[in-house]
Structure 1
Amino acid sequence: MFRIHLIILLFFGMTTSVLAQGVTLSGVVTSQKDGQAIEFATVLLKESGLWGVSDRKGRFTIKNVPTGKTTLTVRCLGFATRQLTVVAGENTGSVPIRLDEDNLKLNEVEVVATRKRDEATTSYTIDRMALDNRQVLNLGDIMSLLPGGKTWNSTLMDNSRIALRSDGGEKGNASFGTAIEVDGVRLNNNATPGETLGAGTRTVGTSNIESVEVVTGIPSVEYGDLSNGIVKVNTRRGKSPFVVEGKLSQHTRQIALNKGFDLGRNAGLLNLSLEHARSFSDVASPHTAYQRNAFSLHYMNVFLRTGMPLTLNVGLTGNVGGYNSKADPDQNLESYEKRRDNAWSGNLSLEWLLNRKWLTSLSLKASLSYADRFYEDYSHTSSASTQAYIHTLEEGYFVAADYDKNPTSNIILGPTGYWYVRSFNDSKPLSYDLKLKADWTKRFGRVMSKALLGADFSGSNNHGQGTYYEHPRYTPTWRPFRYSDQPTMNNLGLYVEEKIGVPVVAGSTFEITAGLRNDLTFISGSAYGTASTLSPRTNARYIFWQGRQAWISDLSLHAGWGKSVKLPSFQVLYPTTSYQDRLAFTPGSTAANKAYYAYHTHPSKAVYNPDLKWQSTHQVDVGFEARVRGTRINVSAFYHKTFNPYMATVVYTPYSYKYTSQAALERIGIPSAHRKYSIDRQTGIVTVTDVTGAKPPVQLDYKVRNSYLVNRKYENGSPTERYGLEWMVDFTPIKALRTSLRLDGNCYFYKGLDEKLFADMPAGVGSTMSNGQPYSYIGYYRGSSNTSTANTASASVSNGSLSRQVNLNATVTTHIPRIRMIVSLRVESSLYQYNRSLSELRHGTRGYAVEKGEDFFGKPYTRDVRDRFVVVYPEYYATWDAPDRLIPFAEKFAWAKENDRRLYNDLARLVVRSNYAYMMNPNRVSSYCAATISATKEIGDHISVSFYANNFWDTQQKVRSSQTGLETSLYGSGYVPSFYYGLSLRLKL
């Protein structure tokens, strides 16, 4: 049904385009200050999507503009954005447009995030003034500017990840589903093995960011490979003086240079940015630090400006930096870590405004990004006895050998004493993207229609070597896993979208946008082959009034629903091979304190799951925007349900191997000093040879041991839910005091409850049962508490969590244009904070409340239980000899207590329990607050100084936790940032 509606919309729009009537709109853009012409100013027509760019004389011309009212948005670097309304077809001559310089002399300056108007979904814009006032060091710092956001002390020592409309420690891979783009280049983390997190942001230079758009609602189908919103970063583009900026805080030093060159004679613009930033964690010992050396080069030019303007953008960005503790004299025993964190990306875009009845514009974008992440670890280690270092990649029995005698042995004996181990990890993810998009803008009477059709092709792979060691002699048990051997994941996205605006009555307008995206994922060399997913999305908005002279001057409602799909990462598609190493022979130590152990090794590749589905999120976003007697109110409500989140489980397969104990050596008659041990690779039989030849070789007796092969399998977990309310209220400014007040906040609810049945052996594979055999029972538990796909699902008391919070921030801003100064005070408060661990199922009992920590039987656990230990049984268990027969655990466990004590003791080890009686108590933290102050002062047209202080009163307030009943100070608690301050200086030359 959705596809039928979409086809009807597209057909309607395309057939009516031939009926549209257009006129030519022209104008001149000049500076308000001196009347000089402004070149490269972009003039965008809101209703039709047409645009033009001013020439050296400030002139612009846009043809085939639909008649009637149209809103012009004029932007240029260094000038304040201006909007004005003209009536196309009635205006004669050239439209004069004057732009004010973007500085604190403006009557209105924003130092907070603003709701992006003219959007049918929830999105926010953060401009350069807000970034400067916040002194953003890391792109992730912008989260504190969103409704209900909290300030933290920014540092490059932490590679923060952005996760929209979520909180830490939640299921559903929220940061992995949050997309980040810088000038259209996606920060892709799909090809990074070992994690399923969003892309890190500390390599992105912040000094050349012009604005950031955060779409927390329903994004256009143009954007794929996401499930939790998108952050779009726009860097400086345009002519500008030299801007030198220096920032100083307690743990960070930053200096940057930006310049926009006008190459003259229609040769275009060139923007250059250089930035150096260095963060350290300890002021007393600033040697261990992370540094970012970011650069960007961007070229822009517009051809055919008076006819069919063609805009060319070419960009190159990069970072050379990383972490190094080698120079730190305080490091223990000369150990250190070094991390090279280099990144480069290039992008090219062509946007051609054809402005024809059958095609409005055409754009082509291409990007390539490459990262060089190289980690070096130099650590001290020691051992009093030799240890077996296993390196074999093949199945069979192998005995340890001295490295000096056989350096290529499958198992070598490690050294004794003290030594250093140098290890490396080499990761070089590469991603590329090619996008082609066309749009048609049509008008049929008073109905405006815009159709969008596009395709994008993207790919990810990794050219890194993976983990390896400097010297084979000191290499511990390890196997190589070369990232470069893994295939490439490619994705072809096809999408279509239609937006229709219909005037209704009394100046009101109804807008609806509907789109459909189809992603075809090609995973060469993988059993998953080709996968196809559909993502329908729709947004609607009803504008009741806009700009009228009345008590309520503006009022609009919006609502949207959409599905977005997140592609899997290499961690899900190409997990490392698992190796099971079982001790097969224990000969005891020689006089030289060497033990030539033998092991049986079995490699196992990850299990292919034909039922694996791509993770997706269904989103609902509704809200309204109004201006009531000068007070602007924005409210948005959302509901997110993430389906099929990626999770790792373990598959246990029974197998047997031969084990020879030290007792088998007691009667062989060969002195220990003359013994040489060997083991048959296939049979596992140990042979002892007399190196003097005095005694014949002896084959030792053995026992057959039963164990399990442990293999990883990726599956889809249970859905997670998030919903909440966000608001921003900007009160009418107090003109006499040049002061304004904003209240922003959010209510947030999260519930993640996993009910996936998975296998686990919490007793440990190496432990033994009552009969002396290796532990052989497998527990099948319902629900895991794991929140990261880097770890396999494991048995735990909790199988989920619940959280609720209410945050309210008040920002008082005083802006005095005459002295070019702005001061803001922001009070951030947590009015309600509640979270608790869950151990429950929708149907049935999962856990039992017991009086003592060592008890196994109690009453069924429910949420109202307080201060009790909780034990959780597996739902089923299986034996080694019948792994496919699942035996109900609770019934058998109760029976064994009275009838089979040995079985009872063995099964008891499958029971997991809470460590503390208060562990499952709900945790309600009492309300608290902290304040941040910031100020910016411009001195003339060339100097600007900013200062900020986080938690400037250094609050010592105490908060109470209902989980433990204890009160703790906010000082050092992590609830609020510690007292922190910073200063910045900007020079325009």
Structure 2
Amino acid sequence: MKLTSVSYFFIVFFSLLFFKIQAQEQQLFRGKIVDYKQQPIYLATIHMEALDLKTTSSIDGEFTVRFPKGITSIQIQITVVGKKSIQAQVQPNKPQKFVTQDLSYTLSEVHILPEIKRTNASNSSIVFNEEAIQRLQGFSIMDILNTLPGKASVAPNINRPQTANLRGNFSEDYAFNNSLGVAVVMDGIRLSNDANMQSRSASQFGMRGSLLAGVNNSSSGDVAFQGIDLRDIPVETIERVEIIQGIASAEYDELTDGAILIDRKAGRTPLSFTTNVNGGSSNFSLSKGTQLSKKLGALNIGFNYAISNPNPRDKVKQYNRVTGSLMWSTKFSSQIRNTFSLDVFKTLDQMKIDPDDANNERSYSKGNGIRLSNRLNWNAQHPVAENISWSISYSQSKQETYKQWLLNQTPRGYAYKDTTGIYEGVVLAGRYLAEEEIIGSPITAATTLKASTNFSTGSLLHALSYGLSINYSNNGGKGIIADPDKPRWINQSGQNARPYSFEYLYPLLNYGAFITDNFTLKIGSKTLRSNLGLRLDQQNGAWSFQPRLSTQLEWNSHWNFKAAYGVSSKSPTMAHRYPAPTFLDIPLILAFNSEDALYLVYTEKFIADNSKLKPAKSSQFEFGINYKDSFIASSLTVYTKHNRGGFSSSKQYKNFFLPDYSYAYDEQRKKIVYEQAGTFTNYASYGNYAIENIQNSATVGVDWMLSTKKINALQTSFTVSHSLSSSKEDLKRLEVTYIATPITVDGKQISHLLFPPSSNDRITNFMSKVGTSTHIPQLGFVVSTNLDLFWFTKSASNFDQKMQQAVGYIDNQGISGFFTQQTATIPVRDLSLIANRRKMVYACLNLSVAKEIKKHLRIAVSAYNVLNIQPEQRIYSTSNTEDYIISTYNAPLSITGGLTYKF
């Protein structure tokens, strides 16, 4: 897309905007918000979604809503921390008082289930309110995501990193790209993982292999190349979560696979203590919202501590998380509101030394940091900018990853120089304590300026928003610490680690602009609501043009139809841009005796240039039907998603023609001497990994959700959801494979063959969720059940046979060639693929009980896999031999107990 056409698009939009400067008359609605004691509510949020505007109540609980002349009524939503939200249709010049109710199980109706609704952020968002979040007894945001259609409901587990994956069934690097493309936006500010570089050299190990695994190859505590680790976000201070699995508004940047929008509590709240315990995991939270003087506003403070141990009997593995938050909200005048946030956090994911482990293995991943943010909202009441908001954030942290291993092996040669050439390395003794250490200091900053206004053209009501955003990422850490006396990996793939500092790397700076028109049109008795938007982002030197459209036709009071299409992009991170240099170390002589040792080695240094990496892109299309009456609400969504240019690492081989050497031990000099033998050898097995835009995938799926109102005779409501999705992986690059015994093709010696990708390329999954919620207001009692039904999961490959034919080759000069049908013998490789198809149908039943006592104390117990059913299946290889693996489904019975007390 040329910038000329992009500029033309913006000119058209802004022409429409400034044409509106011929100011239209405004209508006023005045309201007041009080609690059940008739005391005014300060800093309540009043949202006019149709106008994309928000305002807050004054110290007297009063607020004013403006909307264009000719609009007879408009819907507002009032939210207050700890109160039941209010939705009302209001009319100009008709003042109204709103009375809020405290959230309580004693209310006649409580909303503890997620709600599918259209918002300005998306056509089909799934929204969790404060009551639903508290009911889940979650340790992190991941426990909320697990309630979505197609996700298994499992017990809280913060023993390993948790990154979001939305709309897709992927493995390995594909899952990395999916989580990277899920934007996590908290209090209007996107949380960034772009400065995270906690990995070994991706040039040596590839993206997935570069993450430093824990003891016994347990999961890494780091999430380089991926999205935000959701373990770092406690749920107790969250008021609302909106999950966008499909097309997000053009306001949101740096995403390809959806977004998670988080709003935290701001306003007066009682002192609350919450704790949840599950096995060896415990979570404690303390929070308080205090109303200050009239001019100072409200102050919210929260503290959370979590400790998790997967095996409480030995306490070798442990994860700790400590977070503290402060949010100060105030109104400087009737038109200006400001919110300042301060967050501090500390995490430690560690493996202590097992006294019975002869290898003395130990690992940990720890970090601490601070995040500052400020949001200013000005109700300017200007024709071009009815409302102006400005947000700015800064985050800095320190990360440290460490692993040790006591090695006991024969003497090894080690290369340490960082220049190209032949030299004498060192010979290390075989027994020592090997260490790996990575120290990072990621810094991120972001700012967004947004203006919005509203006007009408005939019967068409417009809510126009436009703005700019800038994102900055840097890392000033010491980087990869490589001690030549304690190397962990020696000649791994012909490479050895060198020190690599992050301090002198260039920062990443991405910026963009957006404009959206959220318009409403009356067509007779029908209403068309649409959000048309455009983003233009500059990411890693490349422009990304991203049109997005979401529309919904309200056919009548029961039926509406929806459709959406959008393009989005995600820039590469610093870990993608700046992998450590590759040092290919080729041993020429390794000899030692009791008197001397010699290690002659050739080193060639390659510095990866990933400056040309393009942003990963995604295009999605979805359509659906919603139905709602006084008893049933149903939503059916069919979608397709295509991801292009995702980040992955591919193996590259090089040919080195190096001299041969002869050597002997000189008795007089007590030294091993050597000289060139006059011949040369081609070393063809050495190479490195390159990160490229080579991953493509396509996903199609259907989601259907149905929920009922409470059946009064049973005091019970029901929910059902079905999710069917199929994801096809498509790696746009042939795999290069080294063969130890060269073959001859057309008179050329060939050591490198080209094969089609060997990974499974299609994963299909179908599951259902059936839930009940029994609520007895008189007792303040809620019982919920959830049955997960797993119908099938199937992984299919393009290749039905274990043996795969090569399609081409690379000769010693680096020239590619391809085999033809006339080729006498085409080389093959053994894939030994395991067919991963689950033929059985199985289920998992979860149960949750909660009781409220005098509106101050809540006690809750949740049981996962309450029947403790763990079916097993033998999965045989494609050759139907006795080669098989045993898969066990469903985790064992797990119980979470918790309580909340409001002082």
Q: Structure 2-normalised TM-score?
A: 0.90
Q: 1:601, CA displacement in angstroms?
A: 0.8
- Whether 1:597 aligns to 2:599 is yes
SS in 2 for 1:442: strand
Cα 1:768–1:719 change in 2 (3 A) is closer
Measured in 2, the distance between the counterparts of 1:458 and 1:246 equals 36
2:766, 2:793 within 8 Å by CA — same for their partners in 1? yes
Secondary structure of the 1:464 match is coil
- Looking at structure 1, the residues matched to 886 and 240 of structure 2 have their Cα atoms a distance apart, in angstroms, of 33
SS for the counterpart of 2:261 is strand
1:980 aligns with 2:874: no
Cα distance in structure 1, aligned partners of 2:253 and 2:444: 15
Residues 1:324 and 1:171: Cα distance change in structure 2 (over 3 Å): closer
Deviation at 1:95, TM superposition (A): 0.9
Between 313-322 and 106-115, the greater mean CA deviation after superposition? 106-115
For residues 356 and 395 of structure 2, what CA distance do their matches in structure 1 show?
A: 37
Q: CA deviation at 1:717?
A: 2.1
Question: Is 1:413 paired with 2:427?
Answer: yes
CA deviation digits over 1:193-212, x for unaligned, max 9?
34422221112222212221
Within 1, Cα distance between the matches of 2:561 and 2:772?
28
Q: 1:262 is matched by which residue type in structure 2?
A: Q
Listed one character per residue, the Cα deviations across residues 478-519 of structure 1 (whole Å, up to 9, x for unaligned) are 21121222211111111122222111112x211222211111
**Alignment check: 8 A CA contact 1:813 1:822 kept:** yes
CA contact (8 A) 1:605 1:711 kept: no
Superposed displacement of residue 295, structure 1 = 0.8
Amino acid of the structure 2 residue aligned with 1:824? S
Distance 1:471 1:570 in 2: 26
- Aligned with residue 546 of structure 2, among 528, 535, 552: 535
- Structure 1 residues 605 and 142: alpha-carbon distance in aligned structure 2, compared to 1, 3 A threshold: same
Deviation per residue, 1:449-489 (Å, 9 max, x gap):
12111111111121122221467466764211212222111
In structure 2, relative to structure 1, the CA distance for the partners of 1:955 and 1:536 (3 Å cut) is same
1:912 aligns with 2:829: yes
2:435 to 408, 422, 428: 422
Distance 2:803 2:587 in 1: 33
Matches within 5 A, 1:890-905: 891-894=822-825
The question of whether the paired residues in 2 share the 8 Å contact of 1:13 and 1:450 is answered with no
Q: What amino acid is aligned across from residue 136 of structure 1 in structure 2?
A: G
**TM-fit CA distance, 1:361:** 0.8
Say if 1:652 and 1:759, in contact at 8 Å, map to a contact too: yes
Greater displacement, 288-297 / 829-838: 829-838
In the other structure, the counterpart of 1:108 is 109
Which of residues 265, 269, 281 is equivalent to 1:252?
Answer: 281
Partner of 2:257, secondary structure, is coil
CA contact (8 A) 1:923 1:962 kept: no
What is the distance in 2 between the residues matched to 1:731 and 1:474? Answer: 62
Q: 1:757 to 1:474 in 2, by over 3 A?
A: closer
Q: Which residue does the alignment assign to 1:618? A: 619
Deviation, 1:988, is 0.7
Structure-1 separation of matches of 2:815 and 2:483: 44
Give the structure 2 partner of residue 744 of structure 1: 721
Q: Give the distance between the partners of 2:768 and 2:544, measured in 1 at CA.
A: 39
Matches within 5 A, 1:99-178: 99-118=100-119, 121-169=123-171, 172=174, 173-178=177-182
Decide which of 552, 555, 569 is 1:565's aligned counterpart.
Answer: 569
**Equivalent position of 1:886 in the other structure:** 817
| SS of the residue 1:912 aligns to | strand
> How many pairs are equivalent?
858
Please name the residue that 2:453 is paired with.
440
CA root-mean-square deviation: 2.8
Query: Relative to 1, partners in 2 of residues 1:563 and 1:891: Cα closer, same or farther, differing over 3 Å?
Result: same
Instruction: Indicate the larger mover: 561-570 or 612-621.
Output: 612-621
Q: Indicate the residue corresponding to 1:238 in structure 2.
A: 267
Provide Cα deviations, 1:948-982, integer angstroms capped at 9, x if missing partner: 0000010144557586799x9xx994532321001
Preserved CA contact (<8 Å) 1:178 1:229: yes
Letter in 2 for 1:753: D
Contact 1:837-1:922 at 8 Å conserved across structures: no
Please tell me whether residue 930 in structure 1 is matched to residue 862 in structure 2: no
Aligned residue number for residue 512 of structure 2 = 493
Judged with a 3 Å threshold, the aligned counterparts in structure 2 of structure 1 residues 96 and 515 are, in CA distance, closer, same or farther, namely same
Would the alpha carbon gap of residues 780 and 106 (structure 1) be closer, same or farther in structure 2, given more than 3 Å must change? farther
- Which ranges in structure 2 are unaligned for 5 or more consecutive residues? 200-223, 491-495
Structure 1, gaps ≥5 residues long: 400-410, 523-529, 547-553, 679-685, 687-698, 785-797, 840-862, 864-868, 895-906
Residue pair 2:755, 2:808 contacting (<8 A) in 1 also: no
Q: Alpha-carbon deviation of 1:884? A: 1.5
CA distance in 1: counterparts of 2:873 and 2:683, whole angstroms: 50
Q: Which moved more, 1:144-153 or 1:706-715?
A: 706-715
How far residue 941 of structure 1 moved from its aligned partner, in angstroms, is 2.0
Higher Rg of the two aligned structures: 1
For residue 529 of structure 2, what is the amino acid of its counterpart? E
1:875 maps to 2:877: no
Conserved 8 A contact 1:288-1:327? no
Task: Report the equivalent of 1:395.
Answer: 420
Q: 2:533 aligns with which of 506, 515, 518?
A: 515
1:678-700 per-residue CA deviation (whole Å, 9 max, x = no partner) reads 6xxxxxxx3xxxxxxxxxxxx45
Deviation at 1:940, TM superposition (A): 0.7
| Structure 1 position 291, deviation (Å) | 0.3
Query: Any conservation in 2 of the 1:143–1:150 contact (CA below 8 Å)?
Result: no
- Residues 275 and 899, structure 2, Cα contact 8 Å, conserved in 1: yes
Deviation at 1:721, TM superposition (A): 0.6
Note if contact 1:831-1:928 (Cα within 8 Å) is conserved in structure 2: yes
Q: 1:220–1:716: structure 2 CA closer, same or farther, 3 Å change rule?
A: same
Task: Decide whether the 8 Å contact of 1:225 with 1:567 is kept in 2.
Answer: yes
| 2:784 maps to which of 820, 824, 841 | 824
Closer, same or farther in 2 for the Cα pair 1:893/1:870, shift >3 Å? farther
Corresponding letter in the other structure for 2:671: K
Alignment check: 8 A CA contact 1:370 1:431 kept = yes
Matches of residues 165-204 of structure 1 in structure 2 within 5 Å? 165-169=167-171, 172=174, 173-193=177-197, 194=199, 195-204=224-233
Contact 1:69 1:85 (C-alpha < 8 Å) held by counterparts = yes
Instruction: Determine the structure 2 residue equivalent to 1:214.
Output: 243
Contact 1:579 1:604 in 2 (8 A): yes
Aligned-partner SS, 2:42: coil
- 1:617 Cα offset (Å): 0.5
CA contact (8 A) 1:875 1:890 kept: no
Q: Partner of 2:51: helix, strand, or coil?
A: coil
Partner of 1:324: 350
1:438-477 alignment, distance < 5 Å: 438-469=451-482, 472=485, 477=496
Aligned position for 1:704: 680
Deviation per CA, 1:248-285, whole angstroms, max 9, x where unpaired?
11020111100101112321111111111000111211
Give yes or no for the alignment of 1:641 onto 2:642.
yes
Amino acid across the alignment from 2:363: E
Stretch deviating more after TM superposition (18-27 or 426-435): 18-27
Deviation at 1:920, TM superposition (A): 5.8
Check 1:140–1:801 CA distance in 2 against 1; reply closer, same or farther (3 A cut). Answer: same
Aligned match of 2:384: 358
- Superposed, 1:749-768 pairs within 5 Å as 749-761=726-738, 763=739, 767=740
Secondary structure of the residue aligned to 1:357 is coil
SS of 1:105 mapped into structure 2: coil
Structure 1 range deviating more: 775-784 or 798-807? 775-784
Instruction: Name the structure 1 match of 2:214.
Output: none
Looking at structure 2, the residues matched to 178 and 330 of structure 1 have their Cα atoms a distance apart, in angstroms, of 42
Aligned-pair CA distance for 1:754: 2.8
Deviation for aligned residue 1:646: 2.0
Partner Cα separation in structure 2 for residue 962 and residue 545 of structure 1: 53
Helix, strand or coil: the match of 2:383?
coil
Tell me, what secondary structure is at the counterpart of 1:484? coil
Q: Note the alpha carbon deviations across 1:377-404, whole angstroms, 9 max, x for none.
A: 2321123x421121110111111xxxxx
Which secondary structure does the structure 1 equivalent of 2:341 belong to? strand
Check 1:387–1:780 CA distance in 2 against 1; reply closer, same or farther (3 A cut). Answer: closer
Identity of aligned residues (%): 19
The structure-2 alpha-carbon separation of the partners of 1:889 and 1:472, relative to structure 1 and needing over 3 Å to count, comes to: farther
Q: Is the 8 A contact 1:568 1:615 kept in 2?
A: yes
Counterpart-to-counterpart distance in 1, 2:682 and 2:356:
49
- CA shift in 2, pair 1:580/1:52, >3 Å: closer
Once structures 1 and 2 are overlaid, which stretch shifts more, 101-110 or 941-950? Answer: 101-110
Contact 2:21–2:383 at 8 Å: present in 1 too? yes
Mapped to 1, the partners of 2:727 and 2:764 lie a distance apart of 7
SS in 1 for 2:135: helix
